[in-house]
Amino acid sequence: MESFGQVLTDYLKGLPSSVLKIGGTVMTQLWCRPGKTGILGLILCLYWQAEYSGAGHDWNVNMKCIEHICNVILAEPDL
């Protein structure tokens, strides 16, 4: 399960910078849509990383990234 934590960290680091900007492309990301692939899946991945990977510092950095993504979603004018 430790490799899962690294995969999640690498995924978040690989997101295009436009995803993290207000007015960017976060709402077009597959994991940001409703349904089985929605943002809850991303949050569940953070839980798994914390619970099973012993991620420590990486988990804290990932949490900050997800917090920022959630703030970008909340700032979307169309919502």
Taking only the tens place, the pLDDT of each residue in 48-65 is: 888 887 667 888 888 888
* Gap between the Cα atoms of 3 and 17, Å rounded: 24
Question: Please, which pLDDT band fits residue 75 given cuts at 50, 70 and 90?
Answer: confident
User: Considering the domain boundaries, does residue 14 fall inside one?
Assistant: yes
User: Considering the domain boundaries, does residue 79 fall inside one?
Assistant: no
* Gap between the Cα atoms of 9 and 34, Å rounded: 23
Can you give the length of the chain in residues?
A: 79
Give the number of domains in the chain. 1
Residue 32 pLDDT: 75
Q: For 2-53, what is each residue's pLDDT tens digit?
A: 687 788 889 888 888 888 888 878 888 777 776 666 777 778 888 888 888 7
User: Considering the domain boundaries, does residue 37 fall inside one?
Assistant: yes
* Gap between the Cα atoms of 65 and 57, Å rounded: 13
Domain range for 63 is 2-74
Predicted TM-score (pTM) of the model is 0.71
